[in-house]
């Protein structure tokens, strides 16, 4: 995997002239900066087409306000491929409170505003304007999640399938390598794009159902799902269940006089195919045109990381992975991953640390069970929640062997795992060997896991395991840290305001945190992203799995109270927490007892009545500063509790909180929070 002689793909006519190109085959437009790294979908597709012999030029973040920006490289011979980038453009632009973000890690210099809202639609319309009848194929996460009629949180309405607004000819959903390769071959052979109707993993607009060559099912029309929320929920559940490459059917959805046809999903790549994609000749860096602009921050998280798998059978209801990458896991070979890590050791900036060997879920290396590859995915149950399926294959030996091999590569000092670990899956591994080696070798100070909540009813709506599983894991993690004399902390990701979470449930979460001696510095409010089951619950008030009504916190003030309860010690949250406790009739938590959240004396956190001994202080420490993150694909990294200014007592291994420095300045009683 020697990269020194690798060139970036052309981004200008000068680059094309240097290669001796008078014309090129495909123009790839992306809403991200041009980063030629396998963690960027646009880089994968462009390098894949290059390997197939096509000439590909890259147009990154064109100025959508100027049509001539889209003609800067001339007209391609075969077609235009369009993606908004690695995340939905609306998530990139707005917080969960619908406030404009001030930065964008996928843009040069972390600068926001370099792509439009609904980027796929805007880019495709501009291409139609300047190139007229050229084949336009849209793909990437934004197009994938918006392929059907879908609720859009930012517009607060149901939008049409993105093909209709974009005027594109084809939509590629999922990871896209198989479909893109086949579409390119058909176009190169002279097949009109209007005749490409049978490629799995694609969608198109038809005049009637006869154009669909696969077994099919029709869901409620766009007009019906706009008018009736029950119809929306039924359609969403059908779309989710048919996302199965083994037995999934094509889905038809009428939009007025036209018919959206979504073909069955493409099969996941085999190990050999995944190896080949991972080892395409990427430069593995942002294009040098961004150097003077401050580079592209997103590369820092992945430069020395390795993705070894795809897909996730965890199937959390709020996560877009199940509807994009799918629930069948595929993985690379040990040899391929070893070659990539060995190449990284030769990088000029490598310091001996592999930051991550992971993927959507780090400790998945195979399908959940062999039945999946023969009979498809189970329609009416999840693999891990509310309890693990008896057929689940939880053997971690293969992943463990891979990590051991990577640790032995010359030049590698440490191999860390920083992407998601499913602790419930790990607890099903009877040997316990992986968990022990994880603690001994692969944690960089903190292990981040996602219990999300402590109330089992809420966890059921989330599609997460019950809290007892997390508690058992936490205890095991503490024991192992003590056994190996490690001071490593456990960082639990938690979510407020998910459908099904009442104010009373939020209070119970605060009580659980208080009893645990924790308070998150950064918390996640539920973010309704297109296509997920949780977003369906948010919009319809119906759980699409059962068609039963579900409580949904939508009022901004109610959501703010739920969020504040998770950070009850913060002085600025006091009024909200006090209001929440009174609304929930939990005034018993305002007082001086050990389990109380608030002290009643004028807002002073640890004030006591005259002549009364003050109550014992909790285990809070001083929190690190940080802006809360509410991107569903990138949460905040800090999880240290806030305190009253006094040094925190020493914690047992297993709980995340950096030790605060003692206040040594004379005459100062409290640290500034």
- In angstroms, the CA 503 to CA 526 distance is 14
pLDDT confidence bin for 419, thresholds 50/70/90? confident
The more confident residue out of 102 and 651 is: 102
pLDDT confidence bin for 646, thresholds 50/70/90? very low
The CATH code of the domain that includes 175 is 3.40.50.280
Q: In which element (H, E) is residue 183 found?
A: helix 177-188
pLDDT confidence bin for 364, thresholds 50/70/90? very high
Residue 475 inside a domain? The answer is no
Structure confidence at residue 341 (pLDDT): 98
Which range, of 59-73, 550-564, 631-645, averages the lowest pLDDT?
Answer: 631-645
pLDDT one-digit tens code per residue, 300-317? 999 999 999 999 999 899
- In angstroms, the CA 531 to CA 318 distance is 9
Residue 95 inside a domain? The answer is yes
Q: Measuring CA to CA, how many Å separate 436 from each of 157, 421, 446, 498?
A: 48, 14, 15, 33
pLDDT one-digit tens code per residue, 263-281? 999 999 999 999 999 999 9
Residue 105 inside a domain? The answer is yes
Residue 410 inside a domain? The answer is no
The more confident residue out of 3 and 382 is: 382
Beta strand pairing call for 489-496 and 446-452: parallel
Q: What is the reported pTM? A: 0.87
Residues of the chain with pLDDT > 90: what percent?
Answer: 84
pLDDT confidence bin for 321, thresholds 50/70/90? confident
What is the mean pLDDT of the segment spanning 608-634?
Answer: 36
Residue 324 inside a domain? The answer is no
- 213 and 199 in contact (C-beta within 8 Å)? no
pLDDT confidence bin for 363, thresholds 50/70/90? very high
Structure confidence at residue 659 (pLDDT): 40
- In angstroms, the CA 422 to CA 365 distance is 12
What is the mean pLDDT of the segment spanning 112-138?
Answer: 97
What's the total number of domains in the chain? 1
Residue 138 inside a domain? The answer is yes
Q: Measuring CA to CA, how many Å separate 258 from each of 215, 347, 532?
A: 19, 52, 25
- 229 and 177 in contact (C-beta within 8 Å)? no
- Coil, helix or strand at residue 61: coil
Is 212 one of the annotated binding-site residues? no
Enumerate residues 6+ apart whose C-beta is below 8 A from 374: 246
Is 316 one of the annotated binding-site residues? yes
- In angstroms, the CA 181 to CA 476 distance is 47
Residue 109 inside a domain? The answer is yes
Residue 592 inside a domain? The answer is no
- Residue written as tokens 């009637």? 208
Beta strand pairing call for 170-172 and 136-139: parallel
Could you check whether the bond before residue 21 is cis, i.e. omega within 30 degrees of 0?
no
Residue 664 has pLDDT above 80, yes or no: no
The more confident residue out of 600 and 131 is: 131
- Residue ranges of E strands in 52-156: 56-60, 79-83, 136-139, 150-152
Could you check whether the bond before residue 386 is cis, i.e. omega within 30 degrees of 0?
yes
pLDDT confidence bin for 97, thresholds 50/70/90? very high
Provide φ and ψ at 387, rounded to 5°. Answer: -130, 155
pLDDT confidence bin for 602, thresholds 50/70/90? low
Residue 615 has pLDDT above 70, yes or no: no
What is the mean pLDDT of the segment spanning 620-638?
Answer: 36
Mean pLDDT estimate for the chain: 89
Structure confidence at residue 6 (pLDDT): 74
Domain region containing 22: 13-204
Structure confidence at residue 235 (pLDDT): 98
Beta strand pairing call for 150-152 and 157-159: antiparallel
- In angstroms, the CA 159 to CA 162 distance is 8
């Amino acid at each position: 995997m020697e990269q020194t002689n690798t060139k970036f793909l052309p981004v200008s006519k000068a680059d094309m002239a240097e290669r001796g190109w008078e014309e090129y085959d495909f123009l790839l437009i992306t809403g991200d900066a041009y980063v030629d790294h396998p963690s960027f979908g646009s880089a994968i597709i462009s390098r894949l087409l290059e390997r197939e012999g096509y000439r590909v030029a890259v147009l990154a973040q064109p100025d959508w306000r100027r049509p001539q920006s889209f003609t800067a490289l001339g007209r391609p011979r075969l077609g235009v491929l369009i993606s908004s980038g690695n995340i939905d453009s609306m998530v990139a632009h707005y917080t969960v409170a619908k406030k404009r973000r001030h930065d964008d890690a996928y843009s040069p210099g972390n600068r926001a505003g370099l792509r439009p809202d609904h980027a796929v639609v805007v880019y495709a319309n501009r291409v139609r304007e300047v190139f007229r009848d050229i084949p336009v194929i849209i793909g990437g996460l934004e197009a994938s999640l918006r392929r059907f009629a879908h609720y859009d949180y930012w517009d607060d309405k149901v939008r049409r399938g993105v093909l209709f607004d974009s005027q594109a000819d084809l939509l590629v959903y999922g990871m896209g390598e198989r479909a893109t390769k086949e579409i390119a071959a058909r176009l190169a052979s002279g097949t009109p794009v209007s005749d490409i109707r049978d490629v799995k993993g694609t969608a198109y607009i038809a005049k009637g159902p006869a154009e669909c060559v696969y077994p099919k099912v029709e869901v409620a029309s766009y007009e019906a799902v706009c008018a009736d929320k029950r119809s929306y929920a039924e359609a969403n559940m059908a779309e989710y269940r048919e996302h199965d490459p083994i037995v999934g059917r094509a889905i038809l959805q009428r939009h007025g006089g036209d018919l959206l046809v979504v073909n069955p999903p493409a099969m996941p790549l085999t190990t050999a195919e995944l190896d080949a994609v991972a080892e395409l000749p990427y430069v593995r860096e942002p294009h040098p045109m961004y150097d003077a602009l401050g580079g592209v921050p997103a590369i820092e998280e992945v430069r020395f990381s390795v993705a070894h798998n795809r897909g996730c059978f965890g199937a959390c209801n709020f996560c877009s992975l199940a509807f994009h990458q799918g629930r069948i896991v595929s993985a690379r070979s040990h040899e391929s991953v070893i070659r990539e890590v060995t190449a990284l050791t030769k990088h000029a900036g490598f310091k001996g640390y592999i930051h991550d060997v992971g993927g959507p879920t780090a400790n998945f290396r195979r399908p959940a069970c062999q039945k999946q590859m023969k009979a498809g995915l189970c329609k009416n149950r999840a693999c891990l929640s509310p309890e693990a399926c008896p057929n689940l294959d939880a053997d971690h030996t293969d992943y463990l062997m891979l990590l051991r091999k990577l640790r032995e590569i010359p030049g590698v000092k440490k191999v860390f795992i920083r992407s998601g670990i499913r602790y419930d899956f790990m607890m099903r591994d009877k040997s316990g060997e992986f968990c022990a080696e994880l603690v001994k070798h692969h944690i960089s100070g903190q292990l981040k896991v996602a219990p999300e909540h402590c109330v089992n009813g809420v966890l059921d709506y989330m599609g997460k395991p019950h809290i007892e599983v997390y508690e058992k894991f936490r205890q095991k993690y503490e024991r192992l840290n003590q056994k190996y004399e490690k001071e490593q902390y456990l960082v639990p990701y938690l979510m407020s305001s998910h459908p099904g979470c009442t104010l009373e449930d939020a209070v119970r979460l605060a009580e659980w945190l208080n009893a645990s001696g924790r308070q998150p510095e950064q918390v996640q409010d539920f973010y309704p992203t297109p296509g997920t089951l949780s977003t369906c619950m948010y919009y319809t008030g119906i759980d699409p799995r059962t068609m039963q009504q579900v409580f949904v916190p939508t009022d901004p003030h109610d959501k703010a109270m739920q969020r504040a309860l998770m950070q009850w010690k913060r002085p600025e949250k006091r009024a909200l927490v006090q209001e929440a406790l009174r609304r929930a009739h939990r005034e018993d938590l305002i007082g001086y007892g050990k389990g109380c959240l608030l002290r009643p004396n004028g807002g002073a956190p640890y004030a006591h009545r005259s002549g009364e001994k003050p109550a014992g202080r909790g285990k809070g420490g001083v929190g690190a500063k940080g802006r809360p993150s509410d991107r569903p694909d990138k949460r905040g990294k800090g999880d240290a509790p806030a305190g009253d200014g006094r040094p925190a007592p020493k914690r047992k291994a297993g709980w995340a909180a950096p030790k605060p420095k003692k206040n040594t300045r004379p005459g100062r009683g409290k640290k500034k929070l």
